[in-house]
Amino acid sequence: MSDIPAPEAVDPIVLPGATPDRLTDRIAAIALRERAFLWWWIALIPSGALTITLFVAIIYLFYTGIGVWGVTWPGMWGFAILEYVWWIAIAAGGTFISALFYLMRVEWRAAINRIAETMTMFGIACAGLMPILHLGRPYLFYWLYPYPSTMQVWPQFRSPLLWDFVCIQVYLIASGLFWYLGMLPDLAGVRDRAQTRSKQVLYGILAMGFRGSGTQWRHFKRTYAVLAAVMAPMICSVHSVVGLDFAGANTVGWHSTQYPPFFIFGAFLSGFAMVLLLIVPLRRLMRLERFITGRYLDVMCRVLLTSSLFLGYSYMMDAFTTYYSADKAEITMYNARVWTIYSLAYWGKLFCNILVPQLFWFKRIRTSPVMIILICVTVIFGMWYERYELVVMSLFRPHLPSSWGDFSGTVWDYLTLFGTVGFFVFGILLTIRVIPVISMHEVRELMEKRQ
């Protein structure tokens, strides 16, 4: 890959020569393309195979039970809850970019928010699957709904499991509405350029009669702004609830008031890393450099660096409060994190999440696609290490030494993990094949402002 042009050498938003008509024709042509790109098939086949692996692992889990996983007493959460927290944090990055930055009138989000929102949808799907599988009787997940059963047994409203269920459900519905609403003008544009009757009908149905009249644009912008105003605080509340799942338990290492903001900082870091990991190769493979310029990536790298510093502060406060409290159980658990068999996860998270992102202080690194991809992959691994240390270590070092134990994932744990990764990539590949990969109407507005 060639180096990205320096931000000072190009327009901050779009390269010279890019016009609204050229943008619309280019993005619509990708969605209407008769044959998919070769690279698309090369990526689709292994991700599809991993998706099938996930279904096989789930079927085997239903048949055998969660005993096929490595969960044992006292650590009954294992990979399932670990992956739930990991995926829900990744999904948050898209919402931060699409909703929060929209309210802040950040211009550089315009060309990447569609990819970010698509990432959010499939990240939520992967996250929501994990608690259901972990129930033991996943076919009874609807018991979490507050409905009066024949025995008048209501859900335990003080249970973090119910909090998670409500948060994921509301988050998925709101994210889906926000994602789909933002596509209506672009789907209408693809419909108007479709050459075959079948695609005209398909995109006509998806566009829901949007014709671009003044009244429709006025209602669209107001509704979109309201949804953005709802989504921005919702994403903070969702991760605060995820943090309260841990902080609300009287478990060694978890019972801390810093967990809600700590989880928000982690969501910033992992979400931005995944967005960068998607847009860097896609802009090159789909030839979108004229619209997703180096300025986008430069700013995103700076935001990721800032998120890393926030998370580093949280790590520092976690260590400080542990030793300052003089609680023997807390200190013993923390020492076990640092120096025992789990030390790889502890030092791995510090290296991947704090040390490696500091390379983004250098402009040469921020303008190198290869380095951006490598650093983002490292951060994603680092966030998984953090979740592993967080979920596994505290549960296996409770207050009573007689209850201590060790944990190791089984082959079915790892097949489920890799299967969700395959499902995530598979879903994104299918989606970008049929929808406009860039929010055309937002980028057009930016171009018109700069004329």
Model confidence pLDDT, tens digit, residues 271-323: 999 999 999 999 899 988 888 888 888 999 999 999 999 999 999 998 898 88
* pLDDT (mean) for 108-123: 89
CA 379 – CA 308 distance, rounded (Å): 9
Residue 445 phi, psi (nearest 5): -60, -40
CA distances from 112 to 19, 33, 95, 291 (A): 18, 21, 12, 10
pLDDT digits (tens, 9 = 90+) for 61-106: 988 888 888 887 777 788 888 898 899 889 888 888 888 888 888 8
What's the gap between Cα 318 and its chain centre?
Answer: 24
Residue % of the chain over a pLDDT of 90? 37
Tokens of 358: 């500091």
Tokens of 151: 């025995």
Average model confidence (pLDDT) for the chain?
85
* pLDDT (mean) for 143-152: 69
- Please, what is the Cα angle at 111 between 109 and 115, to 5 degrees? 90
75 - beta bridge partners? Answer: 72
pLDDT of residue 13: 66
Domain annotation for the chain: domains and CATH numbers: 7-450 (1.20.1630.10)
Model confidence at 397: pLDDT above 80? no
72 - beta bridge partners? Answer: 75
Instruction: Look at the pTM and tell me if it is higher than 0.75.
Output: yes
* pLDDT (mean) for 156-165: 75
- Please, what is the Cα angle at 51 between 48 and 54, to 5 degrees? 160
Model confidence at 3: pLDDT above 70? no
CA 144 – CA 164 distance, rounded (Å): 10
Instruction: Return the minimum-mean-pLDDT range out of 81-85, 324-328, 447-451.
Output: 447-451
pLDDT of residue 9: 46
Contact 88, 127 (CB under 8 A): yes
* pLDDT (mean) for 200-224: 91
pLDDT of residue 101: 84
Tokens of 175: 């994210």
pLDDT of residue 427: 94
- Please, what is the Cα angle at 195 between 192 and 201, to 5 degrees? 65
* pLDDT (mean) for 187-196: 90
> For the chain, how many residues are written?
451
Model confidence at 332: pLDDT above 90? no
pLDDT of residue 252: 81
CA 170 – CA 172 distance, rounded (Å): 6
SS3 of the chain: the string is CCCCCCHHHCCCCCCCCCCHHHHHHHHHHHHCCCCCCHHHHHHHHHHHHHHHHHHHHHHHHHHHCHHHCCCECCECCHHHHHHHHHHHHHHHHHHHHHHHHHHCCCHHHCCCHHHHHHHHHHHHHHHHHHHHHHCCCHHHHHHHCCCCCCCCCCCCCCCHHHHHHHHHHHHHHHHHHHHHHHHHHHHHHHHHHCCCHHHHHHHHHHHCCCCCCHHHHHHHHHHHHHHHHHHHHHHHHHHHHHHHHHHCCCCCCCCCCCHHHHHHHHHHHHHHHHHHHHHHHHHHHCCCCCCCCHHHHHHHHHHHHHHHHHHHHHHHHHHHHHHHHCCHHHHHHHHHHHHCCCHHHHHHHHHHHHHHHHHHHCHHHHCCHHHHHHHHHHHHHHHHHHHHHHHHHHHCCCCCHHHCCCCCCCHHHHHHHHHHHHHHHHHHHHHHHHCCCCCHHHHHHHHHHHC
Model confidence at 46: pLDDT above 90? yes
> Which residue in this structure is represented by tokens 């807390």?
330
Model confidence at 7: pLDDT above 60? no
pLDDT digits (tens, 9 = 90+) for 28-44: 888 888 888 899 999 99
pLDDT of residue 149: 65
CA 22 – CA 124 distance, rounded (Å): 34
CA 291 – CA 17 distance, rounded (Å): 10
Model confidence at 172: pLDDT above 90? no
State the sign of the Cα–Cα–Cα–Cα dihedral 381, 386, 78, 342: positive
